[in-house]
Structure 1
Amino acid sequence: MVRAGRASLHPGWIDGPARPGFDLLVARYEAGPSLDERDGHAEIAIPGRKVRGFARLFREHPELLTNYDFIALLDDDLRASQRDLERLFGFGERYGLDLFQPSLSWTSYFSYAACLSNTHYRLRYTNMVEMMCPVFRAAHLARVLPLFDLSFETGIDLLWCRLTDGPELRYAIVDDVVVAHTRPVGSTKLRQGFGEDETYDRQIALLLDMFGIRFRGIVTYAAIDTMDRRTRSRLKIALRSLVLWRAWAVTPMPTRHFVRFLSDYLRHCLWRPLNLDRVDLGRGSEAGRRLAAFQVSAGEHPQP
């Protein structure tokens, strides 16, 4: 699924010689040229914000959660091929993942250096999958959908890996599938419904405060190498992540941002806690009470 604007790159996702091994649902927040109708492709109009648009989509079409094993919610500025996406879905089944994402090319704009493709690995297990390109096991998406109704357009990705017991080895960045993020992060905020003075950092701070939690950064704590061997040595992963400094030569990111983001990631590999303790959204829990209070104040019905 994609929340698509006028310049969406999603036509390139189904440009292969044969019918894709996945269906594509385009939920437009802006008018734009439509693709020819074909099997496995549909378009609907849902104006407004990205995340709230996805929430509306699943309220109006709950059958999506039972008709598919995996559901990807992709940004419209990702450059990927049909083959890339077909292979990506296969990783979820092969490695028993609940939530995962492709890695980013070194020429991509990014928020977290952990997401840059590491050529030493097939995939890396992580404590966070970012909002740009998550792929959910349908059952896990059903579990996290209450977060989509919170009126936050960013930050819910800091929670959706923390809603289950036994989360280790369930979330990953797939280095073997590489896509390109083509626009600077935040460049379409106004078109997606943000106010002029709204910032990502402000929304994230409000969300973390609402649930009384902290986010200490992305940690990749285990990995599968290109020979399909698993390691849980965070030192080894950090050392093999030094290869990412080579991306400095081709990154579109400002130098100060690239250096800071990559330095932070390498430190997190070594020393940061996983921060995967469960946040219980049940109505009897503290987080659940905060969630219900927020929904009531926003004029919504609490989730059961």
Structure 2
Amino acid sequence: MNRRKLAPGASAFPIPRQLPKGSGMRNLVIVRAGRRSLHPGWVNGVGKAGFDLLVAAYEAGVPHRPTDLNVFLPGRKIAGYHALFQCYPEILDNYDLIALIDDDIDTTMDDINRLFEIGKTYNLDLFQPALSSDSYFSYASTLTSGRQYVLRYTNTVEMMCPVFSARCLRAALGLFGLGYETGIDLLWTRLTDTPWLRYAIIDDVVVRHTRPVGTTKTMQGFGVNERYDVQIDAVLKRFGAEFRGFVTYAAVNRRGQLVRSRFLIGLNSLTLLRSLFKTPLKWTQFLRLATDYTRHCWLRPINLQRIDIASIKKPGLHCERTPRSIMPR
């Protein structure tokens, strides 16, 4: 990966001195939003959102409500998150759970409320909703497992819609500033000595990923024909880490029982084959990813050994907090 492509563009823009005060909620959803963002639908409906919404727009003309927190942060996704947390460290003090949801995720206020509720109930540090059968996806493990489980404990959580505890996000912030736009999600579950039963895919909440993976690739600094694998390998090599696949090693079933049998979890993963007629992926690609997931459940190492990121030198960030209109039209 050419290092020039990794240089964040967001950090050069002046942003407000202080975020407006939120509602007092302890849950926050942040979206790096473009003009076609689906986030307006996340706060529609009957009832009350149990979360604040922070719209961190990467282009002008992004819709937002007067009650939403909003910041204009042009640039790449992870670089933009890095700039946001560097300039507004109070986010980690003001909220207990912080979700980073991509703007092409189709979900509802009720589902997001439920997602936060389950995360708190099971004392999770990092988790994500499951993806619907008709979603675009990279890892079949993220697809809904059907009605068998409330959640599945996993060795990592994808970048698409992770929900962090403030403690977990604080520990992972160093990864956001390294200049990578992919691959850090393979490491952020490996920053503690007590990782077991702390990271999960929530099958009780299902969302839809509406865009093909890689649609915004060039916007994130990748060449047209450049593979994500190149940067992922660079991230792992930098930390001397190994990742041999998404593994779900335990689960909570609908009766509230903890299932520790990887054989049974792998057996249940075969139900993904029912999604073959719904998936937007090519059948050959879907079958390869689905069978990989089953094989990983049964055979692959979990790889949750701790890595050290404290000694890694990070690029500096110039955060010019000068008064300006928060969101250009």
TM over 0.5: yes
SS of 1:12's equivalent?
helix
Q: In the comparison of the two structures, how many residue pairs are matched? A: 288
Separation of aligned partners in 2, 1:179 and 1:110: 12
Contact persistence 1:48–1:193 (CA under 8 A): no
Q: Give the stretch that moved more between structures: 141-150 or 27-36.
A: 27-36
The match for 1:206 is 234
Contact persistence 2:136–2:209 (CA under 8 A): yes
Q: Give the stretch that moved more between structures: 44-53 or 10-19.
A: 10-19
Q: Which runs of 4+ in 1 moved over 6 A?
A: none
Question: Counterpart of 2:273 in structure 1: which amino acid?
Answer: W
The structure 2 residue matched to 1:168, chosen from 196, 203, 206, is: 196
Separation of aligned partners in 1, 2:241 and 2:124: 24
The match for 2:178 is 150
| Deviation for aligned residue 1:214 | 1.1
Deviation string for 1:120-143 (max 9, x for gaps)?
Answer: 110000001000000000111000
Question: Counterpart of 2:56 in structure 1: which amino acid?
Answer: A
Separation of aligned partners in 2, 1:135 and 1:63: 17
Report sequence identity in percent.
Answer: 56
Asked if residue 74 in structure 1 is aligned to residue 105 in structure 2, the reply is: no
The structure 2 residue matched to 1:222, chosen from 231, 236, 250, is: 250
Separation of aligned partners in 2, 1:34 and 1:7: 9
Q: Give the stretch that moved more between structures: 57-66 or 183-192.
A: 183-192
The structure 1 residue matched to 2:57, chosen from 28, 33, 49, is: 28
Deviation string for 1:94-152 (max 9, x for gaps)?
Answer: 00100000000000000000000011110000001000000000111000000000110
SS of 2:54's equivalent?
strand
Q: With CA pairs under 8 Å and 6+ residues apart, which has the higher RCO, 1 or 2?
A: 2
The match for 1:285 is none
Q: Give the stretch that moved more between structures: 150-159 or 18-27.
A: 18-27
| Deviation for aligned residue 1:182 | 0.3
TM-score, length-scaled by structure 2:
0.85
The structure 2 residue matched to 1:254, chosen from 282, 300, 307, is: 282
Contact persistence 2:101–2:161 (CA under 8 A): yes
Could you list the runs of 5+ residues in structure 2 that have no partner in the other structure?
1-29, 319-329
Separation of aligned partners in 2, 1:36 and 1:132: 23
Asked if residue 37 in structure 1 is aligned to residue 63 in structure 2, the reply is: no
Q: Give the root-mean-square deviation of aligned CA atoms.
A: 1.4
SS of 2:297's equivalent?
helix
Question: Counterpart of 2:188 in structure 1: which amino acid?
Answer: W
The match for 1:107 is 134
The match for 2:114 is 87
Question: Counterpart of 1:229 in structure 2: which amino acid?
Answer: Q
Could you list the runs of 5+ residues in structure 1 that have no partner in the other structure?
283-287
| Deviation for aligned residue 1:299 | 6.0
Deviation string for 1:264-294 (max 9, x for gaps)?
Answer: 1000000111100000223xxxxx2xx22xx
| Deviation for aligned residue 1:209 | 1.0
Separation of aligned partners in 2, 1:165 and 1:191: 36
Separation of aligned partners in 2, 1:155 and 1:260: 21
TM-score, length-scaled by structure 1:
0.92
- 1:184-195 alignment, distance < 5 Å: 184-195=212-223
Separation of aligned partners in 2, 1:82 and 1:109: 21
Separation of aligned partners in 2, 1:46 and 1:279: 30
The match for 1:159 is 187
The match for 1:132 is 160
SS of 1:172's equivalent?
strand
